Amino acid sequence: MQKILTGFNIQAVNSGVSTGTTWLPAAGEPIVSSSPVDGKDIATVTSATRADYDAVVQKAAEAFGAWRQWPAPRRGEVVRQIGEALRTHKEALGRLVSYEMGKSLQEGYGEVQEMIDICDFAVGLSRQLHGLTMHSERPGHRMYEQWHPLGIAGIISAFNFPVAVWSWNSMLAWVCGDVCIWKPSEKTPLTALACQHIAATVFAANGVPEGVCCLVTGGREVGEWLAADTRIPLVSATGSTRMGKAVGAAVGARLGRALLELGGNNAIIISKDADLDMSLIGCVFGAVGTAGQRCTSTRRLIIHESVYETFKTKLVNAYKQLRIGDPLDEQHHVGPLIDRQAVDMYLQAIEKCKAEGGKFVVEGGVLEGKGYESGCYVKPAIAEVENGFSIVQHETFAPILYLIKYSHIEEAIALQNGVPQGLSSAIMTLNLREAEQFLSQAGSDCGIANVNIGTSGAEIGGAFGGEKETGGGRESGSDAWKAYMRRQTNTINYTDKLPLAQGIKFDL
pLDDT of the residue at 260: 98
Q: For residue 319, is it within any domain? A: yes
Q: Dump pLDDT digits (tens) for 18-49.
A: 999 999 999 999 999 999 999 999 999 999 99
pLDDT by residue (tens digit) across 352-392? 999 999 999 999 999 999 999 999 999 999 999 999 999 99
Average pLDDT in the 158-181 region?
Answer: 98
DSSP-derived 3-state class of residue 183:
strand
What CATH code is carried by the domain that includes residue 396? 3.40.309.10
* Residues present in the chain in total: 508
Position 508 scores a pLDDT of: 80
Q: Which whole-number Å values give the CA distances from 370 to 326, 367, 431, in the listed order?
A: 11, 9, 48
| One-letter amino acid of 16 | G
Q: Which of 107, 114, 261, 475 is catalytic?
A: 261
**Domain count for the chain:** 2
Tell me whether residue 330 is one of the annotated catalytic residues.
no
305 lies in some domain: yes
255 and 270 belong to one structural domain: no
Q: Mapping DSSP to helix (H, G, I), strand (E, B) and coil, where does residue 499 land?
A: coil
Q: Is the same domain home to 308 and 406?
A: yes
Query: Same domain, yes or no, for 287 and 373?
Result: yes
Burial class (CB in 10 A: 0-12, 13-18, 19+), 92: middle
pLDDT band at 176 (very low <50, low <70, confident <90, very high): very high
Give 1's pLDDT tier (boundaries 50, 70, 90): low
DSSP notation for 238-292 = ES-HHHHHHHHHHHHHTT-EEEEE----EEEEE-TTS-HHHHHHHHHHHHHGGGG
Give pLDDT, residue 445.
98
Helix, strand or coil for residue 76?
Answer: helix
Is the pLDDT score of 11 beyond 60? Answer: no
- pTM, whole model, 2 decimals? 0.96
> For the chain, what is the total number of helices (H) and then of strands (E)?
14, 22
Shared-domain flag, residues 227 and 282 = no
Query: What does pLDDT average to over the chain?
Result: 96
pLDDT tens, position by position, 296-339: 999 999 999 999 999 999 999 999 999 999 999 999 999 999 99
Residue-range definition of the domain harbouring residue 385: 266-463
Query: Considering the domain boundaries, does residue 160 fall inside one?
Result: yes
User: DSSP assignment of 119-168, as one string?
Assistant: HHHHHHHTT-----EEE-SSTTEEEEEEEEE--EEEEE--SSSTTHHHHH
pLDDT at 8 > cutoff 70: no
pLDDT mean over 253-280: 98
Element (H, E) at 404: strand 400-406
Confidence (pLDDT) at 214:
98
The values of phi and psi at residue 340, to 5°, are -70, -25
Residue 143 maps to which CATH number?
A: 3.40.605.10
Question: Does residue 372 fall inside a structural domain?
Answer: yes
Is residue 11 situated within a structural domain? yes
Strand order in the sheet with 359-362: 359-362, 381-384, 400-406, 298-304, 266-270, 424-428, 448-451
CA distance 379 to 400: 9
Which pairing describes strands 359-362 and 381-384: parallel, antiparallel, or unpaired? antiparallel
Q: Which of 463, 480, 497 is the last residue of a domain?
A: 463
Quick one: pLDDT at residue 435? Answer: 98
pLDDT, residue 95, reads 97
Residue 254 lies in a domain: yes
Same domain, 136 and 162: yes
Clarify whether residues 365 and 216 are in a common domain: no
